[in-house]
Structures are given as structure tokens and as C-alpha cells.
Amino acid sequence: MAAKHGLGRGLGALIQDGTPPVDKAAPDALLTELPASQIEVNPRQPRDRFVPEDLAELTASIKTHGILQPLLVRRQGNAFELVAGERRLRAARQAGLERVPVRLVEAADRESLELAMVENLQRADLNPMEEARGYQRMADDFNLSQDEIAARVGKARATVANAQRLLDLPEEVQGMVREGRLSVGHAKVLLGVAAPPELSLLARRTMAEGLSVRALEKLVARLKRGLRRPRRASEQDMPPDHLRHLTEVLHQHFGTAVRITPSRTLAGGRKVKGMLEIDFYSNDDLHRLLEIVGAPV
């Protein structure tokens, strides 16, 4: 695998095949040992979730075999800051190691975040939401475009853009993606739903019923058809703008798709009844709607 470019002076050489090379391949990196207690965690670490079971397994492995890959560390004044390897550092401390192998690198703040992102991405250590927030931090903290972020982490620009879109999901749904209860494929489909309450309801239904991505796509398409433009004014007594307004008001009020079929007056003066349809996805959802309309249940 070719070295990634755009990581700053001497840093690209550190990210070959996910394993730090020998010293001669990176003159600005020094392999040494440091007391585990003297290493401070990286505030730009993209990972924010450490599974206790996985950490316990790594701790047991380190007790038996030690740390097989050095941590990446940079000097910050008189202290040392972790660039990449927080899970290994946590496990080493739990295993009781007083000193740990490290590779000292020269890295500015931006390069530190880039290295942490690349190392975690190569190890597939980041969940989708951690990856999305990492890209967003690179954009916010260092004013990088999606093209620049993609070049620095070795990803396609579309991959970065799609990941960042996940941050538009409601927090509840982000949690489902973070915990692996909802796939990225499902999340991308849900992003096509404009109303957050309806999006969250669909996410819960997807989990409860085990819907496939394809089944969810069909459901979202059906809901969108329910919100399409009403019939031409010549076919109804209610003005189109007013019908759209009422549909949107009820949609927001109930938090689900609503369809209004206005009553019509035929040529002979006979009235044709209208219809109001409100979608629900479970018995609990039905009771929620009944409570909204004040029906005794």
C-alpha cells in the first residue's frame, strides 16, 4: 500500500501499511520508552467510545505479550501528548505497565489530528459517527475543505461528504448508528426525510421490524408520495396553497406523514367527501396520535 500524502513533513512515512517503520524510514521519529503516567491523552482523539469488553481483551493480551506496536507521541513543552494509540495506552495502564514503547514524532495540531484519524481509519477502529465528527473537526478547527480532508486521510471526497452528512441526523438516530443498531446504509436513506420527528419514528420502526435498506427506501418513497402536490385547482374547491399549508401544519403537529384529500363539488352540484389520512407505525405510535387529538384511550 502506498504511503498517504499530505500528512506534513516526514509524517506520511509513518503511515505505511498501518505499522510504524524503522527509524531510518522516518528521521524525525524516535523509538523509545516513556512512563505511561507521563503521557497525556490527545484532546483531538477522534474516538470517543471505548468498549469495555474489547479493552479487557486487549489488556489481557498486553499482560501476556506486551505492546506490539509503539504509541505515537509528540512532545508538548515538558510533557508528552498522545497522537495515536489511546486504547493501547488505557489497556497498558490497566495491565499495570509502568513504561510503554513510543515513537516520538514532530507534529503540529493539524498533523496530530490527521495522524490520529489515519491510524484509526486504517485499523477500522472508528464507528461511523466518530469518523464523521473527526472529519468535521478537521474542517472546523483547521478550515479544510472536503477535498483537502480526503487527500490527507486517503479517502475519496464523496466518502468524507457522506460521512459528514450523518451529523445532520437527530441525536437519537446518531446514537443508533454509533452503537451499530442502525447501518450507514439505513442512515443515508433516512437523511432523505425532512422532518426530524418522522425520521426518528422511521429509525425506530426500522430497528423494531428489522427492515432492510431496500424496504426502508420503499417506505420513505411512499411517505414522500403522500406529501406530493395536491390535485389541480380545477378538481377541488380548496386552493392549492391553502391545502399545502394545512398538510404541513398537520405534518408538524403529528410528527408523521399526513394526506388531505379535499372534498369536491361535481358539475351537477353533488359533493364528494374528503379524506384525512394520518400514518402510524406501531400500536404505541397510534396511542401517541390518539393522545394528541385528545381521544379517550
Interhelix angle 196-209/171-178, rounded to 10 degrees, is 30
Q: Which residues contact 58 (CB under 8 A, 6 or more apart)?
A: 87, 88, 91
The owner of cell 515513537 is 103
Separation CA 29–CA 12 (nearest Å):
12
Q: Is 86 a catalytic residue?
A: yes
The catalytic residue among 86, 111, 130, 198 is 86
**β-strands 264-265, 271-272: how paired?**
antiparallel
Catalytic annotation, residues: 86
